[in-house]
Structure 1
Amino acid sequence: MQTEVNQNANYHPKRHNWRVWWTLTRPHTLTAAFVPVFIGTALALPYTSINVPMFIMMLLACLIIQAATNMINEYYDFKRGLDHEGSVGIGGAIVREGVKPQTVLRLAFILFGVAALIGIYICIQSSWWLAVIGTICMAAGYFYTGGPVPIAYTPFGEAVAGLFMGNIIILLSYFVQAGTITLESVLISMPISILVGAILLANNIRDLDGDQENGRRTLAIIVGRKNAIKVLAGMFIVSYLWVIVLILLNIASPWLLLVLLSIPKPVQATKGFIGKTIPIQMMPAMKATAQTNTIFGLLVSIGLILAYIL
């Protein structure tokens, strides 16, 4: 009953246009989908000719699944009374723009259906085992905020997001090109996985007080704000050290040292959280965390391409 009261209090029908629908996809998060596809494809360059249609289909499928996951997040945040007009962040299309909750959920499932159709094409061209993995990915997207015990409400949100949006997308993108998985591809996917997890941790640091009030048990809540910032900094450090170690072990090309150019962003992100407790004050730090993943990943892709052509 309380949830229904919250929903009625928060929902205000308004006029909306295409920009609202675009915002509903949370476009700023979509880099977490396309960067891994670029990396996985670049990894395959030394071993095969790139199948451009497969690259495009993988990219579309990942972007669509990410957008659908964002919409499910939007729906369940509203349903559980977490979103209101004063919410800080890029969500809230339901409470601020008047998009009907059921419309958001239906659109999410339609997008999952479109991704499934694209997945059939990918499977026909590669392996039907990918259908199993794709189904698991979509289920993870739904249960991240849906279901009786949402993954996002537990300390495992960062790990799950990193696994699916980092490791698995990179390895799938590599597999559809090269037809196999190598130790190199697994190891190079790890820092991206960590940085995707860092995006979720940054989000949970910002929302710590509100999440705690609503019964969430995120990693940030369990370790506390100060320790969560230290964990975030540690994730940044491990990501960069991981690449350096791979280069020293001759597993990765020295061209991947290009990632060091992105170091100012994680420094900015970490400093941006220190001493802050008001969500709006932490938005620049959150943005810098997401930019770290994007820039780091693109520099990895560029390094892989340069290692191949030079």
Structure 2
Amino acid sequence: MNGRSFLELVEIRTKAASVIPFIMGTLYALYRFDSFYAGRFALMLVSLLCFDMATTAINNYYDFKKASRTYGYGYETHNPIVRRKLKESVVVGTIVLLLLLAAGCGLLLVAQTNLLLFLLGGLSFLIGILYSFGPIPISRMPLGELFSGLFMGFVIIFISAYIHTDGTLALLTLERGWVHVHLNLVETIYLFWFSVPAILGIANIMLANNICDIEEDVENRRYTLPVYIGKEHALTLFRLLYYVSYADLAVLLLMGIHPLLVLLPLLTWIPLRRNLAKFTARQEKAATFILSVRNFVLLNAARIAVLGAALLLPR
């Protein structure tokens, strides 16, 4: 497997869906708690990227193995394993190596922080594997948008902020057989609402993908959300999630960020609405699916810019 085949197998272009929440959580910790650890930052980045690439490769491998119809619907071009004529043994070996790297860096990070990270990281690993693997993967059920949005949009942001807080946000301790979990509820609620654009943006990436693949998914017995509710209702939900994603602007104001900076995310509505209209008119994997990724980047890059500017300005 050469470098280009590897990048296609792991769909490197989609990694913004994990890297952007990671950056958002890091900047949140810097702004809210004035805390940052470079070593922990690097370990989580490597673990996160390796695991994200592994789950994508697993998804492509599982689709390759489970495909009921191996012609039409662009089968010869959609799956990188088929398109690049990759050996199954090489694909499986790549997946195992990525998982080992992700787990190794994750355990090193747990050793530097708290057992709560082991719990959250372990749960994330489990959901990530079950998302693409098992008798009935989550991605083949109408729950893909919910799980991908919550875990990639909120849990990643929570963990990437948590590793810099030294227990200010949450803490898990073991004492004489008792497990004690301490959670700063107010800060966690703030962090959740701050994560809303990431949660809904990632959910919409999955929703857009499933809308584009609805005919192929029915053929391959993959019963995703659009298959259950129909394409028109799925498109309505797609639009609604973007409208709701602007609700977190109030949270930025409550955090003490200057109102003029908060106006910046509002400007993203202009290009986002244009992309929304294009996707509503035409749902094609090769042509318009990328618009959901661009919308996700628009929504959340604006929040990153706001936090970055707020860090530079006197409070």
TM > 0.5 fold call: yes
Deviation at 1:22, TM superposition (A): 1.6
The alignment status of 1:48 with 2:34, answered yes or no, reads: yes
Change (3 A) 1:76 1:97: same
Unaligned residue ranges in structure 1 (runs of 5+): 1-15
The alignment status of 1:243 with 2:230, answered yes or no, reads: no
How far apart, CA to CA, are the structure 1 residues paired with 2:308 and 2:134?
A: 41
2:282·2:288 contact (CA, 8 Å) conserved in 1?
A: no
How far apart, CA to CA, are the structure 2 residues paired with 1:139 and 1:228?
A: 27
How far apart, CA to CA, are the structure 1 residues paired with 2:310 and 2:107?
A: 33
Within the candidate set 259, 264, 269, 1:263 is matched to 269
Which residue does 2:233 correspond to in 1? 227
Structure 2 residue matching 1:178: 3-state secondary structure: coil
Amino acid at match of 2:2: N
2:193·2:248 contact (CA, 8 Å) conserved in 1?
A: no
Change (3 A) 1:79 1:209: same
Deviation at 1:131, TM superposition (A): 1.6
Per-residue deviation, residues 141-194 of structure 1 (Å, max 9, x unmatched): 111121001101111100100111110000000000113332322220122111
How far apart, CA to CA, are the structure 1 residues paired with 2:300 and 2:49?
A: 16
Which residue does 1:60 correspond to in 2? 46
Change (3 A) 1:267 1:95: same
Which residue does 1:9 correspond to in 2? none
* 1:111-190 to 2 correspondences below 5 Å: 111-179=98-166, 180-181=168-169, 182=187, 183-190=189-196
How far apart, CA to CA, are the structure 2 residues paired with 1:91 and 1:176?
A: 37
1:229·1:270 contact (CA, 8 Å) conserved in 2?
A: no
How far apart, CA to CA, are the structure 2 residues paired with 1:26 and 1:187?
A: 29
Deviation at 1:289, TM superposition (A): 0.8
Structure 2 residue matching 1:285: 3-state secondary structure: coil
Which residue does 2:6 correspond to in 1? 21
* Greater Cα shift, 52-61 or 77-86: 77-86
How far apart, CA to CA, are the structure 1 residues paired with 2:48 and 2:76?
A: 23
1:85·1:92 contact (CA, 8 Å) conserved in 2?
A: no
The alignment status of 1:33 with 2:18, answered yes or no, reads: yes
How far apart, CA to CA, are the structure 2 residues paired with 1:49 and 1:309?
A: 15
Alignment coverage as a number of residue pairs: 290
Change (3 A) 1:163 1:125: same
Change (3 A) 1:68 1:85: farther
Change (3 A) 1:233 1:89: farther
Deviation at 1:273, TM superposition (A): 2.8
Per-residue deviation, residues 196-239 of structure 1 (Å, max 9, x unmatched): 00000000000011111222221111111111111100011100
Stretches of 4+ moved more than 4 A in 1? 82-86, 88-91
How far apart, CA to CA, are the structure 2 residues paired with 1:138 and 1:82?
A: 28
The alignment status of 1:79 with 2:84, answered yes or no, reads: no
Change (3 A) 1:184 1:227: same
* Greater Cα shift, 287-296 or 225-234: 287-296
How far apart, CA to CA, are the structure 2 residues paired with 1:89 and 1:197?
A: 27
1:243·1:257 contact (CA, 8 Å) conserved in 2?
A: no
* Greater Cα shift, 107-116 or 258-267: 258-267
1:166·1:192 contact (CA, 8 Å) conserved in 2?
A: yes
1:205·1:225 contact (CA, 8 Å) conserved in 2?
A: yes
How far apart, CA to CA, are the structure 2 residues paired with 1:36 and 1:19?
A: 26
1:259·1:296 contact (CA, 8 Å) conserved in 2?
A: yes
How far apart, CA to CA, are the structure 1 residues paired with 2:305 and 2:75?
A: 34
* Amino-acid identity (%): 29
Per-residue deviation, residues 223-277 of structure 1 (Å, max 9, x unmatched): 111111111000111001x1233246x2462324322232244323322233436
Which residue does 1:288 correspond to in 2? 291
